[in-house]
Structures are given as C-alpha cells and as structure tokens.
Amino acid sequence: MRIYEGSPRQDYEEVLRSIGAFLDQRGMHDALLVEAPDGFIVQGLTVEGDQSTWSENVGHQAKETLTFLDDDIARFMEEALARRNAAAAPSDWANAGYYEKSFRVLGRWIDEQKPHDIFFFEQGGAFVVRLHRVGPAGGHHTLAEFTKDDIETMIGQAPQARRA
C-alpha cells in the first residue's frame, strides 16, 4: 500500500500474493497486471460456462478485466493473513496455487528493485515485467523476463528466503 500520495508502493510481495490467490480462486490464466494510481488493473482469461467433462457445452474462454482499489487489496491481504493463521496445516505454501506462489516471488524480487510502479504479463508460466523507477535524473523503465523455469526455481527457494 502507498504510505502517502506519490510514494512508491510498499510490500509488493504481500500485495501481489493476495491478488495471485484471488486469480487462482477465479481460475484465471495468462494474466496481465497494471499498477494504477489507486490500485491495480488485472486482466486474464477465464473459462465461462460448464467446465464438466460430462457436459456437451464445455464452456469458452473469455477475457476478464478486474480493477482492485487499494481498499480491496487491503481487504484481500487481511483475509489471506487470517486464512493462513487459521490453517491447520503447518505450511499453506504447499497448498497455495500457482499465481499466489509466482506473484509472491515476483513481488519479493520487485520489492528489492524499489520501483515507483509496475506492469507485467504472464503467458504459459513465463513473465515479462516492466518497472518504472524515478530518481534524481527523472523516470525510466526497466524490463526483466522470467522463464517458467526461473519462476519455478524462485518458488522452490521461497521458503528458505522467507526464513532469512
């Protein structure tokens, strides 16, 4: 969340993790995320209609666009923390979905970069990330690409990095 207007967002790791958990629940894939001044715009593909293998109508893919305001993100983060604290399992990391895990590890990497705002898209488990940084000489964009193998490695290392 932003501490004050115009400041960089704080703690992308938890913010993106909560958005990723929401996308996992919705069954979205091929996600695109854009940071806006008051939250995030997320777009992805979903399957609409009956997804049962016994149905003649298997459903169809549709693009869905969602807007999450800072208040929505705060609520998602509180709900996720309550869910993790109430979980009987010692680690809900093992039960987390792909987007919750991948957005979390990307968020941790993004936090280390200290950007002003972010944009990224995912396709087939690989991510292209654009960071906007503002410094004394002005603003500039930085691009980074993470293959599916990169993300899987980051996910595998996340429990050890969290303890550090």
Give the domain extent around 146.
12-163
Is 5 contained in some domain?
no
Asked whether residue 162 carries a pLDDT value surpassing 50, the answer given is yes
Give the mean pLDDT of the chain. 84
Asked whether residue 55 carries a pLDDT value surpassing 80, the answer given is no
Burial of 71 (0-12, 13-18, 19+ CB in 10 A): exposed
- One-letter amino acid at 61 equals Q
Burial of 12 (0-12, 13-18, 19+ CB in 10 A): buried
pTM: 0.82
Confidence category of residue 78, pLDDT binned at 50, 70, 90: confident
In the chain, the number of structural domains is 1
**pLDDT of 4:** 40
Question: Do residues 101 and 92 make contact, with C-beta atoms less than 8 angstroms apart?
Answer: no
Question: Do residues 84 and 94 make contact, with C-beta atoms less than 8 angstroms apart?
Answer: no
77 or 141: which carries more pLDDT confidence? 141
**pLDDT of 1:** 47
Is 4 contained in some domain?
no
Which of 43-47, 56-60, 143-147 shows the lowest per-residue confidence on average (mean pLDDT)?
56-60
Is 119 contained in some domain?
yes
161 or 16: which carries more pLDDT confidence? 16
Euclidean distance between CA atoms 27 and 134, whole angstroms: 35
For residue 134, the cross-strand partners are: 139
Asked whether residue 10 carries a pLDDT value surpassing 80, the answer given is no
**pLDDT of 135:** 83
How large is the average pLDDT for residues 1-8? Answer: 47
Is 2 contained in some domain?
no
